[in-house]
C-alpha cells in the first residue's frame, strides 16, 4: 500500500517535462483566445476551465497515480508559474509576448468596432463595465482601454469630469477677488 502511495511510477524528469509542456500549451491557448481573461468570464468560460483540468490530467501524470507523482506535478506547476510571473515582472518584452498589449475599445464615446469584434466583446458588456465603474453611458467616455489582465480602464471626457481640488481652489480665489471688489465698491 505505501509503495503505491509514495513511489513515483514515472521517471521524475518525464513528470516535470510533461507538466511544463502542458503548462506552456495552456498558456498559449489562453493567449490565443484573447484578453477577456478572468475579469469577464461567462458560464461557458467556467465550463471550459473546469473541464480543462480533467482533460490535461493524464498528460501531466501519465500512468503515475502516486501521491509523490502528484506532488511533483503540483510543485512543478507552481514553480514554473512563479518563474514566468517573475520573468513578466522583469521584462516588458516577455510581458508583451505572454500577456499581450492594451487595446482601445472606446474612443470619443463610441466603441471601436474592429477591436470589439476581434476581442469578441459585445457592446452590452462594455456598457455594463461603464456602469460598474459609476459611469452613466459610453458617450461620457473619452477612452476605454482593455488591459491584458481583462480590466477595462475608462477615462471620462473632460466635460464629464468632476471638479478637481485645483479647480475649487481657483474658483475660491476668484470668489474672494469678487468679494474684495464688491467690499471696496460697496463702501464708496
At 35 the pLDDT is 60
β-pair partners for 159: none
Q: What is the pLDDT of residues 98-111, one digit of tens each?
A: 888 899 999 999 99
From the number of C-beta atoms within 10 Å of its C-beta (0-12, 13-18, 19+), residue 174 rates as exposed
Contact 105, 119 (CB under 8 A): yes
At 66 the pLDDT is 85
At 188 the pLDDT is 52
Tell me what percent of the residues of the chain surpass a pLDDT of 70. Answer: 94
Report which secondary-structure segment, H or E, holds 167. Answer: helix 165-186
What integer is the mean pLDDT of 105-131? 89
Buried b (16+ CB within 10 A) or exposed e, 132-164: eeebeebebbbbbbbbbeeebebeeeeeeeeee
Do you know the residue count of the chain?
188
pTM confidence score: 0.67
Higher model confidence: residue 24 or residue 38? 24
Q: Rounded to an integer, what distance in angstroms lies between the CA atom of residue 181 and that of residue 13?
A: 85
Q: What is the pLDDT of residues 32-68, one digit of tens each?
A: 876 655 456 677 777 888 888 888 888 887 788 888 8
Amino acid at each position: 500500500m505505501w509503495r503505491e502511495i509514495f513511489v513515483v511510477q514515472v521517471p521524475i524528469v518525464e513528470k516535470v517535462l510533461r507538466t511544463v509542456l502542458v503548462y506552456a500549451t495552456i498558456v498559449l491557448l489562453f493567449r490565443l483566445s484573447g484578453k477577456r481573461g478572468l475579469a469577464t468570464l461567462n458560464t461557458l468560460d467556467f465550463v471550459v476551465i473546469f473541464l480543462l483540468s480533467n482533460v490535461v490530467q493524464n498528460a501531466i501524470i501519465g500512468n503515475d497515480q502516486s501521491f509523490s507523482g502528484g506532488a511533483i506535478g503540483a510543485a512543478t506547476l507552481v514553480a514554473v508559474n512563479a518563474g514566468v510571473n517573475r520573468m513578466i515582472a522583469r521584462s516588458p518584452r516577455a510581458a508583451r509576448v505572454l500577456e499581450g498589449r492594451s487595446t482601445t475599445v472606446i474612443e470619443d464615446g463610441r466603441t471601436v468596432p474592429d477591436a470589439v469584434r476581434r476581442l469578441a466583446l459585445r457592446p452590452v458588456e462594455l456598457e455594463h463595465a461603464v456602469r460598474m465603474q459609476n459611469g452613466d453611458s459610453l458617450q461620457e467616455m473619452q477612452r476605454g482601454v482593455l488591459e491584458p489582465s481583462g480590466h477595462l480602464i475608462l477615462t471620462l471626457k473632460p466635460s464629464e469630469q468632476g471638479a478637481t481640488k485645483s479647480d475649487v481652489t481657483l474658483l475660491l480665489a476668484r470668489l474672494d477677488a469678487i468679494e474684495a471688489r464688491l467690499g471696496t465698491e460697496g463702501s464708496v
